[in-house]
Every structure is written in structure tokens, then in C-alpha cells.
């Protein structure tokens, strides 16, 4: 299915969005008090493995890789939804066990 899908938008729109997104963290990641999951597409040439180096060393951090490219959520929507549900269920269970 993913091979038949194409995004339709003006490339200037994507450039505008990209330029409007901060590309630096506003603070120290290790100060986070919430779970953090960085998920990237295995074939992504935009978000590389080294961009999330150290995330899995955080107490509540994990680096995950999905099949697909940079747009893996659109390429594999069911798998992406299942991953998000699994993450939230795990985080909720962890929160309950700490309460």
C-alpha cells in the first residue's frame, strides 16, 4: 500500500514548516521527568541513529526503529499506532507501579 501513496503539497510548504521547527533542545534532556521515546524509520536519511544517541541511557528514555523511511507513520500507520499504544500502556503501567 505504501508504494502507491504520494504526498501532495507545495514543496515550499514543507520548507516553511521545517524552518519553523526548533532544531535544538531548550534544555538538558536528562532533566526530563517524563518518558521519552525517539522513534525513527530504519531507512530514514533525515533522522539518523546518532541524532538520538544517549536517549536509551536516560532513566525513562528509549530509542526505537520502525521499518520504513522518514515518513514511516504514513507508510505503516497500523504499525505506528500499535507502537504508540504499546508505549503508552507501558508508561501507564510503570506510573501505577511507582504510585
Q: How many Cα neighbours within 13 Å face the side chain of 70? A: 6
Give 66's contacts (C-beta < 8 A, 6+ positions apart): 39, 40, 41, 42, 72, 76, 79, 80, 83
Q: What is the mean pLDDT of residues 48-68?
A: 88
User: Picking from 22-26, 61-65, 68-72, which range would have the lowest pLDDT averaged per residue?
Assistant: 22-26
The reported pLDDT for the residue numbered 83 is 96
Amino acid at each position: 500500500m505504501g508504494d502507491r501513496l504520494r504526498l501532495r503539497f507545495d514543496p515550499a510548504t514543507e520548507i516553511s514548516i521545517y524552518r519553523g521547527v526548533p532544531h535544538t533542545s531548550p534544555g538538558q534532556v536528562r532533566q526530563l521527568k517524563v518518558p521519552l521515546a525517539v522513534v525513527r524509520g530504519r531507512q530514514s536519511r533525515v533522522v539518523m541513529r546518532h541524532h538520538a544517541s544517549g536517549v536509551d541511557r536516560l532513566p525513562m528514555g528509549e530509542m526505537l526503529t520502525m521499518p520504513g523511511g522518514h515518513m514511516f507513520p504514513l507508510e505503516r500507520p497500523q504499525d505506528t499506532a500499535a507502537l504508540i499504544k504499546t508505549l503508552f500502556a507501558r508508561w501507564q503501567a510503570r506510573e501505577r507501579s511507582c504510585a
